[in-house]
Structure 1
Amino acid sequence: MMIKTRLLFTMLIVICLLVQSKKMFSAETALLAGTSKINITPKIEMPLHDSLYARILLLETAEQKLAFISVDQGIFFSEELIRECKEKLGLSQVLIASSHTHSSGKRDAEYINSQIISAIQKAEKSMFPAYIIAGHKTFPQLGFNRLIVREDGHSRESWFSDDHYTSENPERIPFGPVDPEVGVIKVEDESGKPRAIIMNYAMHSDIVCSNYEISADYPGVACRKVEEAFGKDMTCLFVQGGGGDIESLIISSRRKGPDDSFKSDYRTIERVGELLAYETVKLANSLDASKKMGSSFKLMNDSLQFSGRFKTDEKYNIHISTILFNNNILIATCPGEPFIRLQLELKDKVRKAGGVPFLFGYTWYEGTWPNYIPDILSAARGGYGADQSWPEPIAVGAGESIMNKHFENYLRVNGLMRNEYGPVGFKAGSQWKTVEIPPTNN
């Protein structure tokens, strides 16, 4: 009897210690993360060059649960997927970021949704205490601005030649503006091992456009090479920036149709993906999140209403999410294809306010998909995506309004923007400072 009592007492002590250690774990760790990757290649009669994937980064705090979903798709959004994730999986926010590959084939939304749900469930089973750090690295530009200003002051796309410039820019002239930076958000576990990397770069994924084969284009190559560099437990998500008007300098010539004897040159996506992955790995290795005392995030959703540019009865309901990690890493999401000037201007403002900025273009969670979102100057100069868009260009100035709202919300989320009249907590000092001058010995 005494032995049984002692055994029971010992078991109670062990249970209490386990409970206490769990409470300490919860108190010390503000953020949990989980990752996964799943194949979403469509089952269609179309040649396959390389597979398409959905990559998941799941982040959880005591208050909310967020999923970043990066998909190798041209444009992908699904109200049904968002609803399932919230109702069945208990997610508070779901962000779908399309890599914008032009070679994803015919989309099977039902199949992609079911694969993504499975991937999120897998990520939930591998949650770990997470630490986040982020940074940017400038390197020689991979892209150029495809809207080239012509003699009349207006822009035409790079695939139109004139008396001076050749179609498709075979001379690799680095027309601007562009953003030469790659951004990295790195998620580490308690041992300091990288478990997820979000690679943020602004450039169209159409290097092998019109290839009539399935391909994830250069983002697929870049993600694969980053994952290979860090090992099987690491997931790399590619998220577009403001790449609406940015084209790759290295590109494959287009095929005229599936029966064209000319074959796409896939060395182009291998080279671009390799160059981007190299810089991403180099930057990621320079960032050490484990030295931080924990990570957390705050989130603010908002929406803005716009009309069409020429058809004012067209309505756009643009939903954006402003996310702040560690009180200084900003993620500003934007559906559609924002132009690069919008990204450059937002990053400049946020940096001047002390933040580390990321624009997640092509990223949707609710509302209207607006297609191209030009800055005001580009809208005036015109060209594809600037004043030509389907079904109807968004109102002039919409891009600046979206970015200004993000900047305002960033200042609200980080606590700098007051919610009441100021100054608050300010204590004025003495107007005068008296300094006693010692007497002279004259």
Structure 2
Amino acid sequence: MPTEYSQLSPDTTGQAAPRLRAGAVKAEITPDDLTNLHPMPGEFSGVHDPLFLRALYLGDGETETALVSLDLIEAGDITPLRERIQRELGIPADHVVVTATHTHNAPRIADVSPGALAHAGGPESYAYTEVVYDRVVAALHKARAEARPARFGVGTGTADVNVNREQYADGRWILGHNPEGPSDKTVWVLKFEALDGDPIAVVVNYAVHSTVVFGSGEISGDLAGAACRYIEDHFEDFSEGHRDGDTVALWTPGPLGDQAPRVDLGLPFGVAPTERHKARAYAAMDAQGLIVGAEVLRVAATITELTSSVRIGAEQRTVPCPVKEGQDVMSTMRQELVDTVPLRLALITLADVALAGVSGEVVTDIYRRLAGRSPLARTLLISIANDRIGYLPDDARFDRPVHSVNGCPIARGHAETAIVEGVSDMIARQLRLLQEAAR
């Protein structure tokens, strides 16, 4: 069973307490040229709202780590970026977690890993990838340079804007709405502020596809972008005395593999929307973003127990899993049929909080099993972390030809165990290392 874990106090260890430092930066990554950047059939016709990267640097005096969130549909094998960060900033590659908000109205970046089932990119995508890499590195340089002594707290709320999307209708499984299916409504909020109370960043974790305006043909951060915009605007308008516009809201996608927004554009794929269609969809995007964003702000205001004595842990591992060929997938999907596909696991621990990254779209039931197995009660799951190899359904789901099974690149009986046992083992190892350091 998961347990609460409190770090040993300085009085107990006889050592100086770790002092947290935090810095966060937001930078625009909207492409200058949209040609051939749509990851699915079609072209982007324009920009509705800009895309951003949001980078958080954390250090405890001994360990440095970085969390980066990109307003993109997916980031493939991000190893070259993590290695570049290590070369240029000295932050170890296995201490860096990069995720995408999974807005479907944005490009993809990076290579498709061998065996992965992901959208392929052409020359324009690879050129854009280098632009994004440059801006991520620059943002982390700035975030570390501006890092301040900070304190940290965590809280949870709920938001009912997601719904299970694996629906059985007319004798077959479709992507629809299944209110009876599993769905995690938890909104996780990690709050970082300077010692004088000046807000630095909030990390948001929620399980939903950002597909409210998918099909509009316009660049947009979608639901995740709308939520972050609402949060950041609030801090700019109402946080008295803080530096204007510098509070960053990083969206991390939770177990979204089987989760859709409750309200979306609602048109069949490939059907051109009218301006009225798009107007309603963008209104739904802003409304659902507001619901999540407002809950984040409510929760953040209730987080009053914060600490600057935070020991950071981080590690990553790769589990080779036997490949399964995708079924009934889109024409833009690429899969190299090799023997194994790399399932990448990443972990950042902050005091008694674990951020567990997984390189695919994890479904609800896997997260529920992980939450019950993890040594830490406060365990968040970040999908699409450091790669996007495909959907990652639980083993039981393979009895049904649902979308997450058809789009899974891993044979039954491997992904769920690798995630639950692998992440739990990594967390337990970090706790042992922390206890040994405290002796």
TM-score (norm 1): 0.77
- Deviation of the 1:336 alpha carbon: 1.1
Q: Which residue is 1:102 aligned to?
A: 104
Distance in 2 (CA, whole Å) between partners of 1:157 and 1:256 is: 13
Whether 1:243 aligns to 2:243 is no
The answer to whether the 8 Å contact 2:65/2:314 transfers is no
State the Cα deviation string for residues 20-43 of structure 1 (Å, max 9, x = none).
xxxxxx955522111100000011
Q: 1:209 aligns with which of 198, 209, 214?
A: 214
The amino acid of 2:371's aligned partner reads K
The one-letter code of the counterpart of 1:127 is: A
- CA distance in 2 between partners of 1:323 and 1:256 (Å): 38
SS in 1 for 2:46: coil
- Structure 1 spans left out of the alignment, 5+ residues: 1-25, 159-167, 420-442
- Asked if 1 retains the 8 angstrom alpha-carbon contact of 2:155 and 2:299, the reply is yes
- Kept in 1: contact 2:21–2:147 (CA 8 A): yes
Query: How many Å separate the matches in 2 of 1:417 and 1:360?
Result: 23
Contact kept, 8 Å, 1:130 with 1:295, in 2: the verdict is: no
- 1:65 shift after superposition: 1.8
Aligned position for 1:356: 378
Aligned residues of 2:398 and 2:412 also touching (Cα < 8 A): no
> Which residue matches 1:5?
none
Asked if the contact 1:195/1:233 (under 8 Å) is kept, the reply is: yes
Match of 2:120 in 1: none
Residues 90-129 of structure 1 aligned to structure 2 (within 5 Å):
90-92=90-92, 93-105=95-107, 107=125, 108-129=128-149
Q: Is the 8 A contact 1:182 1:201 kept in 2?
A: yes
| 1:261/1:269 CA distance change after superposition, 3 Å | closer
The letter of the residue matching 2:391 is Y
* TM superposition shift of 1:199: 0.3
Distance verdict in 2 for CA 1:293–1:96, change over 3 Å: closer
Contact 2:59 / 2:312 at 8 angstroms: preserved in 1? no
Correspondence 1:193 to 2:198: yes
- Which aligned pairs between 1:256-267 and structure 2 lie closer than 5 A? 260-261=273-274, 263-264=277-278, 265-267=281-283
* Structure 1 counterpart of 2:114: none
Q: Answer yes or no: is 1:383 the counterpart of 2:405.
A: no
Paired residues of 1:316 and 1:394 also in contact (CA < 8 A): no
Query: Does the aligned pair in 1 maintain the 2:353–2:379 contact within 8 Å?
Result: yes
Report the alpha carbon displacement of residue 397 of structure 1 after superposing the two structures with TM. 3.5
Which residues of structure 2 form unaligned runs of 5+? 1-14, 35-44, 109-124, 237-244, 327-336
Amino acid at match of 2:204: M
Question: Retained in 1: the 8 A contact 2:25–2:246?
Answer: no
Q: How far apart, CA to CA, are the structure 1 residues paired with 2:314 and 2:102?
A: 25
Shift of 1:310: 5.4
1:199 alignment partner AA: V
**Identity in percent:** 23
Greater relative contact order, per chain length (Cα 8 Å cut-off, separation 6+): 2
For residue 393 of structure 1, report the CA deviation from its aligned partner.
4.4
Query: 8 Å contact 2:376–2:427 — kept in the other structure?
Result: no
The answer to whether residue 337 in structure 2 is matched with residue 324 in structure 1 is: no
Residue in 1 that maps onto 2:158 = 138
Name the structure 2 match of 1:339: 363
**TM-aligned CA deviation for residue 135 of structure 1:** 2.1
Equivalent position of 2:79 in the other structure = 79
Work out the number of aligned pairs and report it. Answer: 371
> In the aligned structure 1, how far is the partner of 2:383 from the partner of 2:99?
8
Aligned equivalent of 2:310: 295
Could you say if the C-alpha distance between residues 395 and 268 of structure 1 is closer, same or farther in structure 2, counting changes exceeding 3 Å? same
1:220 alignment counterpart: 225
Q: Match of 1:250, SS? A: coil
Aligned to 2:297: 281
> Judging changes above 3 Å, is the alpha-carbon distance between structure 1 residues 229 and 29 closer, same or farther for their aligned structure 2 residues?
farther
Give a deviation string over 1:374-409, Cα, whole Å, max 9, x none.
0012222221121x127x444433123212211122
Question: Over aligned residue pairs, what C-alpha RMSD do you find?
Answer: 2.7
Shift of 1:236: 0.4
Alignment-mate amino acid for residue 29 of structure 2: I
Deviation at 1:115, TM superposition (A): 1.4
Could you report, residue by residue, the CA deviation over 1:102-144 in whole angstroms, capped at 9, with x for unpaired residues? 00147411111111122112212211012221122234x2111
